[in-house]
Amino acid sequence: MRAGLIVQARNGSTRFPKKMLTQIAGKRAIEWVLSRAGKVKADLKVLATTYLEEDNSFCQIARDFGWEVLKGDPSDVLSRYAQAVRFYELSTVIRITGDCPLIDPRLIEMAFDKFMEEKADYLSLVGIIDGFDVEVISGDAILLADKRAKLPSEREHVSPYIRKSKRTKKVFFKPFEEDLSYIHLSLDYPEDARVIERIIEALNYKEDFSYQEVVALIKERPELLERKEHIVVNEGYLKSLEEDKEFIRKLKGKPLKLENSLKHFEKTKKLIPNCSQTFSKSYLQFSVGASPLFVKEGKGCELTDLDDNRYIDYTMGLGACLLGYAFEPVLEKVKKELDRGTVFTLPSYLETQLAELLVELVPCAEKVRFGKNGSDVTSAAVRLARAYTGRDLIACCGYHGWQDWYIGTTTRNKGVPKAVQKLTLAFEYNNIESLERLFEEYPDQIACVIMEPVGVEEPKEGFLQKVKELTHKHGALLIFDEVVTGFRFSLGGAQEFFGVEPDLACFGKAMANGMPVSAVVGGAELMDLFEEVFFSFTFGGETASIVSAIATIEYIREHNVISYIWEQGRKLKEGIQKLIEEKELEDLVFVKGYPVRFIMDFAGEEALKLKTLFQQECAKRGILFTGSHNMALPHTDEVIEKTLEVYSHVLDFVKYAHEYNMLDELLEGSLLQPVFRKP
């Protein structure tokens, strides 16, 4: 262990130029500091000044006192200390500022001993007179601060970043019971020099006076502190805080060109309710005036808006485009099918081909029926379960589409009859007791349990198996809604990944890489009821989508796509988590879910403002952020690297905006709104 005593000093003060050379009671100010602090036993004593010519004048003075001299950036004091830690290999730094000519070596030693006793990263004396300040900091804490601190206040002053950090063990040591921190005896203004001189004179020019002697003197003769001018304590630091705000403002990206998007928005509002066919794609989820609202085209994982701005996308059509937008190997087969026609008077032979593929891959599948959307097949599965069991009630967990039986359980239940709302009962994921209570409260009335096997929360060990056992124990069917998880977690879906086979399962989204097709699958005996249960519509077997599904599934299987997106998802998720930890944002930002599908979101009372600002600034830098990260084939290492670079920059911006209460000032568009509000 090597401890270094470092005094920082410079002549370039705007409030008191050349203050370190000012005469105080027969000595220059710097001489008082070096002679008094120099009585401390330390492995090394260093004067940290600047490389400016005006500061050369007291370098020789320091050397005459036996101190090392280190020169560095005039405005970046933190870098000077980091430079000293690295050059002199210091494990601990005792920090004294040059504006403390009365500094007491006894206080310095007291602070150092307490620092060692507490095994702290940072210690500051508190409650003492301003001008006797001592900080003790570990070398590692200084180096980490030098690496991560960006704000002017964190660079111009050594300890702000360290004091704010959640990673450091901080000790604020009050050595005396009486708090005298309101008394100002540091050398910041010319008049301070006269006050300090009066005190030294009153102590009869004694060289080795103590802090307690100064306190006793001031209590006996308070007139020694009288000043003609008002003193602004910590004026330099307060000024740097204002500089921080200007620095933060400059971190904002250049506003996007969105004229065409906003014109189209005004036109669309007159024609289409919500300006979208999907709540999750509407302007509720994108900041009007700061983010794009409409897309012109997509290729790979990149979207182009109406103003020709281009963005990396991770939402990927709400998870539908696992192979990427306009994926040529699939499109080629779809185009050929379009030439042959897509909807006929008879069913296409292609339906059988896709059904065979699903039966081969999905564990619970023996027979198959097709729909167009996830809502089609989840509703078909529920109807089938009611027909099979002769019961009416449904137990559900997760999101299952727009039909009355499910949406009646949400806050967007307008238009759903109260009688229908009462037929569906919600239970809590990973809480088997909540499902048990439903079966106990409604014995022999629940037709099925329908649930997403996994959303973004990982299932507890044995949870899915317990759900299956409990469901069958009470004579109900288990339905897995795999519209999202299918062909993403594994070729056989989450049921294959977790090793729990349901009675029925519903697939969609990634199955056809963006073309509209869905499927409900299950055991033969159960599925045969569809010969009586009405599930019938014109476009259920539309062949362009069927062909797209066949081509998509075969490509995924032949090219080991799922293993690839797991690996890429791990890189991105771990990279984001690392950024959150490095920036100490765990209280504001979190990632949750499996690597193939996870969310990044914000916490706290200002979560929506934080998310909106993050989306705004990501859009300016070429990333369309919604929070969802549905990994896809075109998310290459290069794309992930760029994403992490943008996220790093924008996370800093959002962190500072929150810290300085600047969110409202920096937002340029409307606030994002949740699709489902808390009741």
Task: Return the pLDDT at 61.
Answer: 92
Task: Return the pLDDT at 643.
Answer: 98
Report which DSSP code applies to 458: P
- Residue 297 tokens, joined: 């085209």
Residue with tokens 């090793």: 499
CATH classification code of 268-324+562-666 = 3.90.1150.10
Cα gap 434→458, rounded to integer Å: 17
Kindly state the helix (H) or strand (E) to which residue 94 belongs, with its residue range: strand 92-97
Residue with tokens 């599965």: 381
Task: Return the pLDDT at 234.
Answer: 65
CB–CB of 656/244 below 8 Å?
yes
Task: Return the pLDDT at 552.
Answer: 98
Chain Cα centroid distance, residue 318: 20
Task: Return the pLDDT at 17.
Answer: 83
- Residue 141 tokens, joined: 């804490």
Task: Return the pLDDT at 230.
Answer: 66
pLDDT, the chain, mean:
94
Model confidence at 235: pLDDT above 90: no
Cα gap 678→465, rounded to integer Å: 30
Cα gap 280→261, rounded to integer Å: 18
* Mean pLDDT value across residues 199-221: 92
Tell me how far CA of residue 4 lies from CA of 113, 136, 458, in angstroms: 14, 10, 49
Task: Return the pLDDT at 394.
Answer: 97
More confident residue, 13 or 98: 98
Instruction: Indicate the SS3 state at residue 598.
Output: strand
Task: Return the pLDDT at 56.
Answer: 87
pLDDT single digits (tens) 356-387: 999 999 999 999 999 999 999 999 999 999 99
Report the share of the chain in percent with pLDDT over 90: 90
Residue with tokens 């020709």: 308
Task: Return the pLDDT at 675.
Answer: 81
Q: Which CATH superfamily is domain 3-248 in?
A: Spore Coat Polysaccharide Biosynthesis Protein SpsA; Chain A (3.90.550.10)
CB–CB of 139/74 below 8 Å?
no
Task: Return the pLDDT at 36.
Answer: 95
pLDDT single digits (tens) 664-673: 999 999 999 9
Task: Return the pLDDT at 238.
Answer: 74
Confidence class for position 291, pLDDT limits 50, 70, 90: very high
Amino acid of residue 581: E
Instruction: Indicate the SS3 state at residue 142.
Output: helix
- Residue 294 tokens, joined: 């409409």
Report the share of the chain in percent with pLDDT over 70: 98
Which residues partner with 397 through β-bridges? Answer: 451
Instruction: Indicate the SS3 state at residue 393.
Output: strand
Task: Return the pLDDT at 365.
Answer: 98
Which residues partner with 600 through β-bridges? Answer: 591
pLDDT single digits (tens) 155-181: 999 999 999 999 999 999 999 999 999
Stated pTM of the model = 0.92
The residue extents of the domains of the chain are: 3-248, 268-324+562-666, 343-541
Task: Return the pLDDT at 159.
Answer: 95
Task: Return the pLDDT at 648.
Answer: 98
pLDDT single digits (tens) 580-599: 999 999 999 999 999 999 99
- Residue 425 tokens, joined: 């009962």
Confidence class for position 206, pLDDT limits 50, 70, 90: confident
More confident residue, 27 or 235: 27
Confidence class for position 241, pLDDT limits 50, 70, 90: confident
Question: Would you identify the CATH topology of the domain 343-541?
Answer: Aspartate Aminotransferase; domain 2 (3.40.640)
* Mean pLDDT value across residues 563-572: 98
Report which DSSP code applies to 253: P
Confidence class for position 58, pLDDT limits 50, 70, 90: confident
* Mean pLDDT value across residues 15-38: 91
* Mean pLDDT value across residues 128-154: 96
Task: Return the pLDDT at 678.
Answer: 57
Cα gap 440→400, rounded to integer Å: 24
Cα gap 439→202, rounded to integer Å: 86
* Mean pLDDT value across residues 232-241: 71
pLDDT single digits (tens) 113-123: 999 999 999 99
Chain Cα centroid distance, residue 458: 19
- The answer to whether 3-248 and 268-324+562-666 have equal CATH topology is no
All residues at 6 or more sequence positions from 330 whose CB lies less than 8 Å from its CB, including other chains: 323, 513, 548, 551, 552, 555
Closest CA to 518 of 301, 320, 326: 320
Closest CA to 671 of 620, 608, 600, 593: 608
Question: Which residue spans within 483-626 are E strands per DSSP?
Answer: 504-507, 518-522, 589-594, 597-602, 623-624
Task: Return the pLDDT at 299.
Answer: 98
Model confidence at 232: pLDDT above 80: no
Query: Positive or negative CA dihedral for 19, 21, 26, 31?
Result: positive
Model confidence at 205: pLDDT above 90: no
Which residues partner with 522 through β-bridges? Answer: 367, 504
